[in-house]
Structure 1
Amino acid sequence: MRKIIFVLATLIANYVIHAQVKTPQPSPHSTLTQVVGLTDVTVDYSRPSAKGRVIFGDLVPFGKLWRTGANANTTVTFSEDVVIKGTTLKKGKYALYTTPKADMWEIIFYSESDNWGTPENWNVNNVAYTTNVDPIALGNAVESFTISINNLTNDSATLDISWEKTMVSLKFEVPTQKMAMASIDKTLAGPTAGDYFSSAQYFYQSNGDLTKALEYVNKAIAMTKPGDDIPFYQLRMKSLIQAKLGDKKSAIETAKLSLAASEKAKNNDYVKMNNDSIKEWSKK
């Protein structure tokens, strides 16, 4: 009987430990991702609700640093550098803090973003950017705390924070023209040595058109700048393609060039692979 009771108690204890009760969170988590021009902007935050409370000046005191949301840090991530009021904010992930006041809000981008709420020890060296914005009175109340990205153009947008009957809006600019021109220039300049090498490698590894593979690896090699050494891995790929085409003599000659280059680069893996291949292809 005692054994049965012990087993039942163990089963109940295990059930309690592993059971996960799911209930709605008072401040649900939300993630917003928006492309602005060619820049990805992601906001990760929790959304408390007003529930009839007076928010700013009461629940959120004026003049005090606020986590700008609930729970863990509210974070904003930019995939590219952005410009705010003429100042560059480097790409990356930032905690978003604010200091609300009746007539002005301070907005702070903080480089340490793994705090729960505000940092226990504030470090001014982690302040990546700070600025002031004027609050805007809203005609209709916003029940759930909301961060949104609005007023989209190719070159800019606004980061808007809204709750109760207050909104603040911060404009930021993105480097769309710079990125677009770089993409255009790269595309019109034609394939790079890396593009040709990757194509040759694909044809070789997939048992594709080996003649094309040899053509592409030769083009990659031909793009080596005068005075620079031909990369040993390109020569290695060329030797493998030649061997697979049945041209063992040429493959050995190319492998010897790759061997010398890999010895110079002190890449022991390629030294061994080239020596092994030369030995194998030299067999009659």
Structure 2
Amino acid sequence: MKKLIVVAFVVLSTLFVEAQVKTPQASPLSKVEQTVGLTNVQVEYSRPSAKGRTVYGDLVPFGKNWRTGANANTTIYFSDDVTFNGKTLPKGKYALFTTPKADSWDIIFYTDTNNWGLPEKWDESKVALKTSVKPETLSKSVESFTIEINNLTNDGASLDLAWERTKVSVPFTVPTKEMAMASIEKVLAGPSANDFYSAASYYYQSNQDLTKALSWVNSAVSMTPAGQSAPFWYLRLKSLIQAKLGDKKGAIETAKYSLEGAQKAGNADYEKMNRESIAEWSK
């Protein structure tokens, strides 16, 4: 009988632990992800509802910092530097705070994102950027607080906040032109030394066309700026390819240059590998 009671207790305890009451959140979590030009923008926030209440000037007082949503910090992430009203906001993740007023809003990007609502102690040094915009009056009321990325162009968009009969639109620009030009110039300039090195390394490691691998590593070496020595790891790879192709004399000569470079750089691992290879190929 006692055993049955114990078993029943264990079963009930397990069921109690595993069972969790699920109810909807008063302010559901929402995520927004939008590509603007070549820049990724992500927003994560909780959406409170008006529920018949007067929002601005009452639920959200005028002239005071607001968490701009509910629960944990509303956060916004930019994959590249962006510009708000001529001010540059470095790429990264920020908490989004605002100071609503009847005739203008302050929009604040704060570097500390680990707060539940407003920081316990406001630190002005953590304000990465602050800008002001004028609010608009909407013709229809918005029941749930909403953040959107709208007015998309190749060079920018707007961060839009809407709730009740108020909308705030904050335009920003992204560095699409600079990024596109840099990409075009890189591609048109042809493969870099690292591109040739990576291709040669892959061919060597995967036992593919070693003649082609040697050609590529030679191209990488030849792109060394005048007056500088070729990187010792480039030369190490070249010596390995030469040895695998049966050119041990050439491999030893290349390995000696690699050894010299490793010694100058103080790289003991490459020194050891080159010495061991030279000894092996000299037999």
What SS is found at the alignment partner of 2:253? helix
Q: Which residue of 1 aligns with 2:28?
A: 28
Q: Which residue of 2 aligns with 1:5?
A: 5
Return 5+ residue gaps in structure 1 as ranges: none
CA distance in 1 between counterparts of 2:229 and 2:16 reads 66
Q: Which residue of 1 aligns with 2:156?
A: 156
- Alpha carbon RMSD of aligned pairs, Å? 1.5
Residue by residue over 1:224-264, the C-alpha shift from the partner in whole angstroms, topping out at 9 and shown as x without a partner, is 11122211110111111112212222112211221121121
Report the residue type matching 2:82 in the other structure: V
Residue by residue over 1:186-207, the C-alpha shift from the partner in whole angstroms, topping out at 9 and shown as x without a partner, is 1111111111101111111121
Q: Which residue of 1 aligns with 2:38?
A: 38
Q: Which residue of 1 aligns with 2:223?
A: 223
Q: Which residue of 1 aligns with 2:243?
A: 243
Question: Which stretch has the larger CA shift, 243-252 or 210-219?
Answer: 243-252
CA distance in 2 between counterparts of 1:143 and 1:217 reads 63
Q: Which residue of 2 aligns with 1:197?
A: 197
Q: How far has the Cα of 1:152 moved from its partner?
A: 0.9
Q: How far has the Cα of 1:281 moved from its partner?
A: 2.3
Q: What are the within-5 Å matches in structure 2 for residues 152-191 of structure 1? A: 152-191=152-191
Tell me if 1:207 matches 2:207. Answer: yes
Q: How far has the Cα of 1:133 moved from its partner?
A: 1.2
Q: How far has the Cα of 1:141 moved from its partner?
A: 1.6
Q: How far has the Cα of 1:8 moved from its partner?
A: 2.9
Q: Which residue of 2 aligns with 1:61?
A: 61
CA distance in 2 between counterparts of 1:97 and 1:41 reads 17
CA distance in 2 between counterparts of 1:256 and 1:37 reads 49
CA distance in 1 between counterparts of 2:184 and 2:37 reads 15
Residue by residue over 1:93-138, the C-alpha shift from the partner in whole angstroms, topping out at 9 and shown as x without a partner, is 1110011122221111111111111000100000111122111111
What SS is found at the alignment partner of 2:139? strand
Q: What are the within-5 Å matches in structure 2 for residues 81-160 of structure 1? A: 81-160=81-160
What SS is found at the alignment partner of 2:73? coil
> Residue 252 and residue 23 in structure 1: after superposition, are their counterparts in 2 closer, same or farther (change >3 A)?
farther
Q: How far has the Cα of 1:82 moved from its partner?
A: 1.2
CA distance in 2 between counterparts of 1:5 and 1:278 reads 77
Q: How far has the Cα of 1:26 moved from its partner?
A: 1.9
Report the residue type matching 1:208 in the other structure: Q
Q: Which residue of 2 aligns with 1:272?
A: 272
Return 5+ residue gaps in structure 2 as ranges: none
Tell me if 1:262 matches 2:271. Answer: no
> Residue 68 and residue 242 in structure 1: after superposition, are their counterparts in 2 closer, same or farther (change >3 A)?
same
When the two structures are aligned, how many residues end up with a matched partner?
283
Q: How far has the Cα of 1:146 moved from its partner?
A: 0.9
CA distance in 2 between counterparts of 1:54 and 1:160 reads 20
CA distance in 2 between counterparts of 1:215 and 1:39 reads 37
CA distance in 2 between counterparts of 1:186 and 1:206 reads 27
Report the residue type matching 2:101 in the other structure: K
Q: What are the within-5 Å matches in structure 2 for residues 47-58 of structure 1? A: 47-58=47-58
What SS is found at the alignment partner of 1:162? strand
Q: How far has the Cα of 1:3 moved from its partner?
A: 3.6
Question: Which stretch has the larger CA shift, 256-265 or 21-30?
Answer: 21-30
CA distance in 2 between counterparts of 1:15 and 1:276 reads 64
TM-score, length of structure 1 as denominator length: 0.94
CA distance in 2 between counterparts of 1:10 and 1:118 reads 44
